[in-house]
Structure 1
Amino acid sequence: MADERVRDVQKWLNQTYGKVSGYEKVTEDGVTSWATIYSLREGLQHELKITELGQGFGTATRAALRKVIKDIVPGTTGNIVKLIKGAFWCKGIGPTNFTDTFDSPLYNAIQTLQGYAGVTSDGLLSINLMAALFDMSAFVLISGRGDKRIREIQQELNGKYSSTGNKDDEGLGILPCDGIYQRDTNTALIYALQVVLKVKNPNGNYGPGTISATPIVNPGESGEIVRIIQYGLYVNGFYTGEFNANYDDDVASSVIAFRKFMNLPEFTGISDLTVIKGLLTSNGNTDRDSNMFDTSTQLTDQDVLNMKTYGFSIAGRYLTGTVGTGSEERDKNLTPEEIQRITDGGLSIFPIYEEGGYELKYFNGYQGYKDGFLAVAAARELGFPSGATIYFAVDVDVLDGDIEGTIAPYIIGVINSMADTEYSPGIYGTRNVCLHGEELGMKYSFVADMSYGWSGNLGFKMPKNWAFDQFVEYPIGGTPIDQGASSGKDPGHHTFKTRPIETISPEDAIKSITSDNDFINGKISFDTSTVLMEEPYIKITAKAATEFKHEGKGIAFSIKNGKFSVNEEAVLKAFLKENNVPSAAADVIIDKLKGSTIPSKLTTGSLTFEMSTSGLEALKMKITYNLLKVDNKTLSGECSMTLEVDLYPIDYVKEKVPEAIEGVVESTLKKLGPGLTIGIAVVIIVACFVVASPELLTAAIVTFLTAYIPQLLS
């Protein structure tokens, strides 16, 4: 929503600095964004006589500000004061006016921000405060997401550690106080620990100096390091007590619970390096013992012996693919011979699938569906037993805002593809990715905690469903491995036996699902569209393909045992809400969808769709079925069938406007002919164009897609 005060700031910025070299004009939309913050920073840099303007608030800006900061006091006038007021308006803390005078309202605004940040409310500007002001950081509890106790931690960290040394911009700085445990909060906890331990040059990175300085802290002790342990226990979800710096029985029992959850023996209430670093970093104590490793190297007899000697009992291996490029490229896939060597050597194996999971652009719903199909086929060929979990790799640091449009659809695709197989889907990735996977339905997580600097690990809890925790890499006997811990949820597999699977070809599958329907029987061709029906206001075409397809924006309906299985109900509800479908109507649609039988021989697969409109002139829908099982036979290769429905209802509506809706229904059914139940949905949509609201129209479209299109296959 636009804020006129913010718009005033944006207009003034463009008018004042629009001709300054290096200044980037901001859109005057009244919305605070990074673009507005960057323009404020560039204006500030110009007033500080910095000639090369930039979007950051770096060393040059701080150095120039240090020369003048003490002179910006009540009574001061000038553009710097006006920039400060503009930043306050963008921060949501109104300084009452937008003049160039440091007046009492500005003084009060500074005190308000200081109070929100947890630092001394003296009304005086500092470099750290300016950096926090000229930033998008929030200092109020974020509704629906923020935790007031985490905000309390953030404020206390700012109050104690924001400024140390002789300069006001030395120290931790003033970090967000929004109640969300995040990268900055995580870094601040490590920084605070370094200050308490008197580590030289504290920087928020848990490096060798901090590791060597980390003490053993016992129950009964007290002090700031105990408070930091309490903070760490709370943000990881293991402590609900007071942050009172006393190592009491509550803290000790919380430490034991954390040790057990993370499988960090001995399971005592003592906090050592393994506990403290485990609370504040994703990789924890990388010198700790564990029983699991993974590798992209095909293991020899000597490798297996080496791993067993080092105390490992579980090996993670890749189902398919190669690693390296050019002359360095080599196979990474598990082979039957290697399985024999590993299991004969006393180790178990769990499967990993990665054929491109190291680039964000790789991930989408279609790719997830395809990967699930290929991974299952490879696991079957190698003889992995029923019940094995396959871990699909997201080997990239995905920003939180990018997950919904990439990783989430990929995960849903994998889950739908494996819905009616003997295997379970698992996820490999950062803590944040694994948390999303856990929520969407991945059985177990293989957490890439080794990459402790990744944004998806800093500031995120460990998923409850973690099976493996990768924390350090090194070679053994020249073979590179990643060492990890095991929670015990997935012990790996010792026994392998290939099982014959009855398959059906894509061509025979299409023939089978259409054989009982005169409307489409014998009319579906591969890669060539066939017109199934064409009337003045509706056209239906269809084609099959020897590949999976994923239409739309991530909504997919799984078909299992011949019935719909909506395993992403929350996503569907959000979609319906975004399209203004009333909640009551949305509930009806979802309830009718769940468990409804597909009247065809399609046993297992998925349905995806996309929609587009051209005003009221036309409505285009594309519905794709990806086939996994037909007549309970597994597809031997990728196969999909796509129906395209074009509706042109306006001319027909114009003829029928004077008639009642019942008349429209009757006339349309007669025109379409008896038995073609898709006509009912067409009539609903036509009627909505005439007499109903957009909300009802959307509900009708969704109902059409989820309930009536499958009848074309009956």
Structure 2
Amino acid sequence: MADERVRDVQKWLNQTYGKVSGYEKVTEDGVTSWATIYSLREGLQHELKITELGQGFGTATRAALRKIIKDIVPGTTGNIVKLIKGAFWCKGIGPTNFTDTFDSPLYNAIQTLQGYAGVTPDGLLSVNLMAALFDMSAFVLIAGRGDKRIREIQQELNGKYSSTGNDDDEGLGILPCDGIYQRDTNTALIYALQVVLKVKNPNGNYGPGTISATPTVNPGESGEIVRIIQYGLYVNGFYTGDFNANYDDDVASSVIAFRKFMNLPEFTGISDLTVIKGLLTSNGNTDRDSNMFDTSTQLTDQDVLNMKTYGFSIAGRYLTGTVGTGSEERDKNLTPEEIQRITNGGLSIFPIYEEGGYELKYFNGYQGYKDGFLAVAAARELGFPSGATIYFAVDVDVLDGDIEGTIAPYIIGVINSMNDTEYSPGIYGTRNVCLHGEKLGMKYSFVADMSYGWSGNLGFKMPQNWAFDQFVEYSIGGTPIDQGASSGKDPGHNTFKPRPVETISPEEAIKSITSSGDLINGKISFDKSTVLVDEPYLKVSAKAATEFKHEGKGISFSVKNGKFSVNEEAMMKAFLKENKIPSAAADIIIDKFKGSTIPSKLTAGSFTFEMSNSGVELLELKITYNLLKVDNKTLSGECSMTLDVQFTPLNYVKEELPAIFKQLGEDTVKALGPNITLGIVLVVGVVIFVALAPETMTAAIVAFLTLYIPKLILD
């Protein structure tokens, strides 16, 4: 929503600095965004006589501010004061006016921000406060996401550690106080620990100096380090008591619970390096013992003996692929001979699938569906037993805002493609990626905690479903490995038997599916689109392909054992709502699909939808079927069928519904109610004739089409 005071700030910025070299004009839309913050920063830099303007609030800006900050006091006038007031308006703390005078309303605004941030509300500006002000960081509890006790931690950290008292060292700075455990909060906890331990040059990074200074803290002790342990236990979800700096029984029992969850023996209430670093970093104590490793190297008998001697019992190995490039390229895939060597040596194996998950652009729904299909085929060929979890690698640091558009569709694709197989889907990635995977339905997580500096690890809890925790890399006997811990959820596998399955080719599958029914009897082709319906109100064409496709925005139906099942119901409801479908119609769509049997030869697969809506004049729908099993036979290769539907609702109402209602009596209507095809036609008709609003009419037609067209094609 636009804020007229923010718009005033934007207009003034463009008028005042529009001709200054390096200044980037901001859109005058009244919405606070990073673009507005950048313009405020550039204006401030110009007033500080910095010639090369930039979007950051870096060393040069801080140094220039440090020289004048104590002179910006009540009574001061000038553009810097006006910039400060503009920043306050963008922060949502109104200084009452937008003049260039440091007046009492500005003084009050400064005190308000200081109170929100947890620092002394003295009304005086500092470099740290200016950095927090000229930023998008929030200092109020974020509704629906923020935790008031985490905000309490953030405020206390700011209050105690934001400044060292040295004018040349701003210390920790003033960090967000929004109640969300995040990277900045995590860094602040480590910084606070370093200050308490008197580590030289504290920087928020848990390095060798901090490791060597970390003490063992016992129950009964007290002090700031105990408070930091309490903070760490709380943000990791293991403590609900007071932050009173007393190591009481509640703290000790919370430490025991954390040790057991992370599998960090001995399971005592003592906080040593393993506990403290484990609370504040993702990789924890990298010198700790564990029983799992993974490697991209095909293991020899000597390798297996070395791993066993080092105390490992579980090996993570790749199902397919190569590693390296050019002359350095080598196979990384597990082989039957290697399986024999590993299991004869007393180790078990869990499978990893990675064929390109090193870049964000790799991940989408189609790729997930394809990877799941290929991984299952490889696991069967190698003989992994029924029930094995396959871990799909997201080997990249994905920013939180990018996950929904890339990793989430990929995960859904994997889950859908494995829906009717004997294997379970798992995820490898940062804590944040694994948390998303856990929520979407991945059975277990293999957490890439070794990359402790990744944005997806700092400030995120460990997922509850973690099976493996990768924390350090090194070589044994010249063979590089990644060492990890095991939670016990997945013990790996030591019994293998190849599992041949009856397959069907894509061509045979399409022929079988389209061999019944007058509408599509033998008409669908792999090389061109075929028109199936050509009526004044409805046009349907179809085309098959020897590849999986993913259309739409996450709306997904799965087919398992010949029945529909809705995946991500909440996501689907949101999608239907975006397309102006009332909740009642959305409920009809979901409820009618869930558990209903498909009277066709499609045994397993998925459906994705893409919809475009031009009011009541034209509705276009793309339905893509990805096939996994037909006639209970597994597809030997990728196969999909896409329907393109064009529908004119008003023509349909005029030409079809009156005739249907005229021919059907009340008893017939009741009898047809449970029938998906005609029953939904009647539901649509009732909605249309009871509520003639065009939007309702279109929504009802969409509900009908979503149900009717797939049934029409497959029946």
Using structure 2 for the length normalisation, give the TM-score.
Answer: 0.95
Shift of 1:573: 2.1
TM-aligned CA deviation for residue 708 of structure 1 = 4.0
1:78 lines up with 2:116 in the alignment: no
- What is aligned with 1:257? 257
Which residue does 1:160 correspond to in 2? 160
Shift of 1:541: 0.8
Give the Cα–Cα distance (whole angstroms) in 1 for the partners of residues 141 and 696 of structure 2.
34
| Alpha-carbon distance in 2 for matches of 1:112, 1:685 | 58
Partner of 2:271: 271
Q: Secondary structure at the match of 1:711?
A: helix
**What corresponds to 2:559 in structure 1?**
559
Q: Distance in 2 between matches of 1:233 and 1:276?
A: 9
In structure 1, the partner of 2:108 is: 108
| Displacement after TM superposition at 1:319 (Å) | 0.3
State the secondary structure of the residue aligned to 2:567: coil
SS at structure 2 position matched to 1:557? strand
Within 5 Å, give how 1:619-638 maps onto structure 2: 619-638=619-638
Report the Cα distance in structure 2 between the residues aligned to 1:413 and 1:684, rounded to whole angstroms. Answer: 31
Higher mean C-alpha displacement, 634-643 vs 698-707: 698-707
How many angstroms apart in 1 are the aligned matches of 2:336 and 2:623? Answer: 40
Partner SS, residue 361 of structure 1? helix
CA offset at residue 555 of structure 1?
1.6
- SS at 1:238 equivalent: coil
> C-alpha distance in 1, partners of 2:319/2:638?
18
Give me the whole-angstrom Cα distance separating, in 2, the residues matched to 1:695 and 1:25.
43
Distance in 1, matches of 2:42 and 2:10, equals: 13
CA distance in 2 between counterparts of 1:327 and 1:537 reads: 61
Report the Cα offset of residue 706 of structure 1: 3.9
- CA distance in 2 between partners of 1:156 and 1:430 (Å): 28
Which residue of the partner structure matches residue 672 of structure 1? none
User: For residues 687 and 599 of structure 2, what CA distance do their matches in structure 1 show?
Assistant: 27
Instruction: Map 1:666-685 onto structure 2 (within 5 A).
Output: 677=677, 684=684
Q: Secondary structure at the match of 1:691?
A: coil
1:566-645 paired onto structure 2 within 5 Å = 566-645=566-645
Q: Residues 285, 516 of structure 1: CA spacing in aligned structure 2 closer, same or farther, 3 A cutoff?
A: same
Displacement of 1:649:
4.7
Cα 1:169–1:108 change in 2 (3 A) is farther
Q: Distance in 2 between matches of 1:85 and 1:554?
A: 43
- Paired residues of 1:649 and 1:686 also in contact (CA < 8 A): no
Residues in 2 aligned to 1:651 and 1:593: alpha-carbon distance in whole angstroms: 27
Change (3 A) 1:247 1:705: same
Is the Cα–Cα contact under 8 Å of residues 687 and 700 in structure 2 kept in the other structure?
no
Distance 1:648 1:585 in 2: 18
User: 2:322, 2:331 within 8 Å by CA — same for their partners in 1?
Assistant: yes
Matched to 2:634, the amino acid is T
Alignment of 1:195-344 (within 5 A): 195-344=195-344
Q: What is the 5 A alignment of 1:140-155?
A: 140-155=140-155
Superposition RMSD in Å: 2.2
What secondary structure is seen at the aligned counterpart in 1 of 2:549?
coil
1:704 corresponds in structure 2 to: 705
**Partner of residue 350, structure 1:** 350
Aligned residues of 2:616 and 2:695 also touching (Cα < 8 A)? no
Question: Using the alignment, how far apart are the partners of 1:310 and 1:72 within structure 2?
Answer: 63
- 1:102 offset after TM fit, Å? 0.4
Q: Mean Cα displacement is larger for which, 453-462 or 564-573? A: 564-573
Is the alpha carbon distance of 1:686 and 1:4 closer, same or farther for their aligned partners in structure 2, counting shifts above 3 Å?
farther
Q: Aligned partners of 1:667 and 1:433: how far apart in 2?
A: 56
Deviation at 1:711, TM superposition (A): 3.0
Is the Cα–Cα contact under 8 Å of residues 224 and 245 in structure 2 kept in the other structure? yes
Change (3 A) 1:197 1:702: farther
Instruction: Look up the equivalent residue of 1:96 and give its one-letter code.
Output: T
Matched-pair contact (CA < 8 Å) for 2:586–2:703: no
Task: Give the Cα separation in 1 of the matches to 2:663 and 2:373.
Answer: 42
Instruction: Name 1:663's counterpart in structure 2.
Output: 658
Preserved CA contact (<8 Å) 1:128 1:169: no
Q: Specify the alignment match of 2:390 in structure 1.
A: 390
Q: Comparing 276-285 with 531-540, which one deviates more in the overlay? A: 531-540
Distance 2:393 2:680 in 1: 44
Give the residue type in structure 1 aligned to 2:260. Answer: K
Letter in 2 for 1:184: D
**Gaps in structure 1 of 5+ consecutive residues:** 670-674
Alignment partner of 2:198: what SS? coil
Question: Do 1:126 and 1:168's aligned partners in 2 also have CA atoms closer than 8 Å?
Answer: no
Q: Is the 8 A contact 1:360 1:396 kept in 2?
A: yes
- Paired residues in the alignment total 705
Aligned partners of 1:668, 1:355: CA distance in 2, in Å? 58
**Cross-structure match for 1:118:** 118
Matches within 5 A, 1:150-189: 150-167=150-167, 170-189=170-189
Structure 1 equivalent of residue 544 of structure 2:
544
Any conservation in 1 of the 2:318–2:334 contact (CA below 8 Å)? yes
Structure 2: distance between partners of 1:519 and 1:87: 64
Per the TM alignment, residue 576 of structure 1 is displaced from its structure 2 partner at its CA by 2.6
Report the alpha carbon displacement of residue 682 of structure 1 after superposing the two structures with TM.
Answer: 11
Question: Is the partner of 2:242 in helix, strand or coil?
Answer: coil
Alignment of 1:348-497 (within 5 A): 348-497=348-497
Q: Could you tell me which amino acid in structure 2 is paired with residue 663 of structure 1?
A: P
Do the aligned residues in 2 keep the contact of 1:128 with 1:168 (CA within 8 Å)? no
**C-alpha separation in 2, matches of 1:170 and 1:245:** 26
Tell me by how many angstroms 1:71 deviates. 0.7
Aligned-pair distance for 1:686? 13
2:671 corresponds to: none
Is 1:126–1:169's contact at 8 Å kept on the other side of the alignment?
no
The 8 Å contact of residues 411 and 437 in structure 1, kept in 2 or not, is answered as yes
Equivalent-residue separation in structure 1 for 2:541 and 2:463 (angstroms): 45
Indicate conservation of the 8 Å contact 1:141/1:151, yes or no.
yes
Q: Tell me how far apart the structure 1 counterparts of residues 274 and 696 of structure 2 sit (CA, whole Å).
A: 56
Aligned-residue offset at 1:527: 2.8
Matches of 1:162 and 1:665, distance apart in 2: 74
Deviation, 1:694, is: 2.3
**Segment of structure 1 superposing worse, 90-99 or 634-643:** 634-643
Secondary structure of 1:566's aligned partner: strand
SS at match of 1:67: helix
8 Å Cα contact 2:218/2:247 also seen in 1 = yes
**One-letter identity of the residue aligned with 1:145:** R
Q: 1: CA distance between counterparts of 2:648 and 2:589?
A: 25
Distance 1:375 1:501, change over 3 A: same
The whole-number CA distance in structure 2 between the counterparts of 1:129 and 1:700 is 56
Residue type at the aligned position of 1:60: A
Q: Is the 8 A contact 2:524 2:544 kept in 1?
A: yes
CA distance in 2, matches of 1:668, 1:432: 57
| 1:585 positional shift | 3.6
Task: Report sequence identity in percent.
Answer: 88
* Aligned partners of 1:444 and 1:467 also within 8 Å: yes
* Partners of 1:489 and 1:662 in 2: CA distance: 56
Moved more, 190-199 or 610-619: 610-619
Structure 1 position 593, deviation (Å): 1.9
Change (3 A) 1:35 1:630: same
SS in 2 for 1:305: helix
What letter matches 1:509 in structure 2? Answer: A
Shift in Å, 1:267: 0.3
Unaligned ranges ≥5, structure 2: 665-674
Segment drifting more, 574-583 vs 504-513: 574-583
Hey, what does 1:34 align to over in structure 2?
Answer: 34
| Distance in structure 1 (CA, Å) of the matches to 2:705 and 2:283 | 49
Alpha carbons 1:470, 1:483 under 8 Å: kept: yes
Counterparts of 1:474 and 1:513, CA distance in 2: 53
TM-aligned CA deviation for residue 712 of structure 1: 1.5
Residues 284 and 471 of structure 1 are in contact (CA less than 8 Å); yes or no, is this contact kept in structure 2? Answer: yes
Are residues 176 and 699 of structure 1, via their aligned partners in 2, closer, same or farther at CA, if it must alter by over 3 Å? farther
CA displacement 1:626-645 (0-9 Å, x = unmatched) = 11111211111111111111
| Equivalence for 2:667 | none
Which digits, 9 at most, give the CA deviation of each residue in 1:309-330, with x for residues without a partner? Answer: 1111100000001111111111
**1:507 shift after superposition:** 1.6
Matches within 5 A, 1:89-104: 89-104=89-104
SS of residue paired to 1:164: coil
Q: How far 1:46 sits from its partner (Å)?
A: 0.4
Tell me the amino acid that sits aligned with residue 658 of structure 2. G
Give the distance between the partners of 1:451 and 1:9, measured in 2 at CA.
42
